[in-house]
């Protein structure tokens, strides 16, 4: 066997391919499978960062890389495993500062060990062809002409399904910002921490190498490193939480309220980030939070997220939110963070854009209306409900609120906000605050 054949495969690239395989074969979520893969390959520090960039970038940008790969093939049919290797190679060549020879040779070695000798020559030839043009040149070759089909051009250039581009454009209401929004979806998100009041302070998180966020008084952006290495995070006194998500929890806690303020409900609490922040805020006021989640395994995640809260300050329940286990009017404050398409968090969930379809909206919006009605029945007169989604899609946001209010005569909308990645540096969180009369 030649020395070239015996050369060991680069471990970060092998790990990145494992992530792509899990996402494709097992419908895994990249952000959840990444820690497992890193532990398996014993990768930390810069190597772990390389795996994250390779895997997330290749998945996120496949809507652009696949047409480029296909343009370099004489026969368009590829084994899925080979296409995964080519996506990783294309990402290194077009979007990373990896020398061409390194990107090509490591990809050839990777396909030899993961698939076999057969496709090695094809991978070499395709990546060499890709390397002869830069990203802008390839976009001009494979994307529709921007002058005649601007949204179609952006869909390919920014690697979003066309229906998603159209839906986001409708939500924005202004095509002039559309390119900025799509580009923000493709930017690697910052790691943001939330100091849970009464358990951790912003100053403590800053001392771990972070800087304060602009919008949330509890937020700190971690400048580098593994967040699990921060003591407050490891102990559950702080958590990784997007600033927009923190603002939703604050909208629940800060909404003006008359009378009793003792019983709070998070109706759809999994995986527990908002519930942990809400629970800390509630405990500081002598209130008790019920964190409710339909799926038992997600309820377990909620309990883990809330483990540092004072004993007796919260309950975690598993059950169907559409059939509540409590009497009407039980709660003073309710959050319904409804299941949604997640199109406002595409920068954090690179595979989500490829898994959703337009027909998902009908099922989701029906459920969202049911859950909002349950939340409004669960709150006492004079109490407040915050309806939130990590989606800016009008069908899931304003349309749901309008539909529910249109059939009720006991509820007023008192506040609303929509955040955007390109404007606010957060996920595109929507929140509407409603009050029972």
Residue 72 catalytic?
Answer: no
Instruction: Please spell the DSSP secondary structure of 280-323, one letter per residue.
Output: HHHHHTT-EEEEEESSHHHHHHHHHHTTTSPTTSEEEEES-TTS
Which structure tokens are listed for 237? Answer: 């006194």
Instruction: Please spell the DSSP secondary structure of 345-365, one letter per residue.
Output: -TTT-TTHHHH--TTHHHHHH
Distance (Å) of CA 418 to CA 32, 340, 403: 27, 15, 18
- What SS3 class is residue 389? strand
Taking alpha carbons only, the member of 391, 268, 381 closest to residue 332 is 381
Kindly list the strands in the beta sheet with 411-418, ordered across the sheet, starting from the edge strand earlier in the chain: 314-318, 288-293, 263-266, 331-337, 379-389, 430-436, 411-418
User: Which residues, listed in sequence order, are joined to residue 417 by a DSSP beta bridge?
Assistant: 431
Measured between alpha carbons, how far is 419 from 251 in angstroms, rounded to an integer?
13
Measured between alpha carbons, how far is 304 from 83 in angstroms, rounded to an integer?
38
In degrees, rounded to 5, the angle at the alpha carbon of residue 334 between the alpha carbons of residues 245 and 364 is: 70
Measured between alpha carbons, how far is 294 from 422 in angstroms, rounded to an integer?
33
Who contacts 192 (Cβ-Cβ below 8 Å, separation ≥6)? 213, 219, 220, 221, 222, 240, 241, 242, 243, 246
Taking alpha carbons only, the member of 338, 335, 353 closest to residue 275 is 335
Cis amide leading into 269 (omega within 30): no
Taking alpha carbons only, the member of 290, 335, 346 closest to residue 316 is 290
- The DSSP secondary-structure symbol of 331 reads E
Choosing from 72, 268, 340, 390, the catalytic residue is 390
Residue 62 and residue 159 in contact, taking contact as beta carbons nearer than 8 Å = yes
Taking alpha carbons only, the member of 180, 205, 115 closest to residue 420 is 180
* Residues acting as catalytic residues: 390
């Amino acid at each position: 066997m030649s020395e070239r054949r015996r050369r060991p495969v680069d471990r970060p690239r092998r790990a990145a391919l494992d992530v792509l395989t899990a996402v494709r074969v097992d419908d895994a979520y990249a952000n959840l499978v990444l820690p497992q893969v890193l532990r398996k390959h014993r990768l930390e520090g810069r190597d772990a960062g390389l795996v994250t960039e390779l895997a997330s970038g290749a998945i996120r940008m496949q809507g652009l890389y696949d047409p480029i790969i296909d343009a370099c093939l004489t026969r368009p049919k590829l084994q899925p495993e080979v296409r995964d290797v080519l996506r990783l190679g294309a990402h290194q060549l077009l979007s990373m500062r990896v020398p061409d020879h390194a990107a090509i040779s490591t990809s050839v070695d990777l396909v030899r060990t993961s698939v076999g000798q057969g496709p090695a020559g094809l991978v070499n030839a395709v990546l060499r062809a890709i390397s002869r043009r830069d990203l802008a040149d390839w976009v001009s070759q494979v994307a529709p002409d921007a002058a005649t089909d601007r949204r179609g051009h952006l869909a390919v250039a920014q690697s979003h399904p066309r229906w998603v581009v159209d839906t986001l454009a409708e939500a924005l209401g202004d095509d002039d910002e559309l390119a900025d929004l799509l580009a923000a979806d493709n930017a690697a998100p910052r790691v943001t921490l939330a100091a849970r009041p009464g358990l951790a302070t912003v100053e403590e998180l800053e001392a771990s190498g972070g800087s304060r966020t602009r919008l949330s008084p509890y937020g700190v952006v971690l400048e580098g490193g593994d967040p699990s290495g921060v003591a407050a995070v490891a102990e559950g006194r702080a958590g990784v939480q997007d600033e927009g998500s923190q603002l939703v929890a604050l909208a629940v806690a800060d909404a003006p309220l008359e009378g009793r303020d003792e019983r709070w409900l998070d109706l759809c609490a999994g995986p527990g980030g908002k519930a942990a922040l809400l629970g800390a805020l509630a405990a500081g006021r002598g209130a008790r939070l019920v964190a409710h989640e339909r799926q038992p395994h997600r309820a377990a995640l909620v309990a883990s997220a809330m483990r540092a809260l004072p004993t007796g300050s919260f309950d975690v329940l598993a059950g169907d939110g559409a059939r509540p286990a409590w009497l009407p009017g039980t709660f003073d404050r309710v959050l319904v963070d409804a299941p949604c398409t997640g199109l406002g968090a595409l920068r954090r969930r690179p595979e989500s854009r490829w898994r959703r379809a337009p027909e998902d909206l009908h099922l989701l919006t029906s459920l969202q209306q049911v859950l909002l009605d349950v939340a409004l029945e669960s709150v006492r007169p004079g109490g407040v409900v915050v309806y939130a989604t990590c989606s800016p899609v009008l069908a899931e946001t304003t349309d749901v609120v309008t539909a529910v209010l249109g059939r009720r005569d006991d509820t007023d909308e008192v506040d609303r906000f929509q955040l955007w990645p390109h404007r606010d540096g957060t996920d595109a969180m929507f929140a509407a605050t409603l009050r029972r009369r």
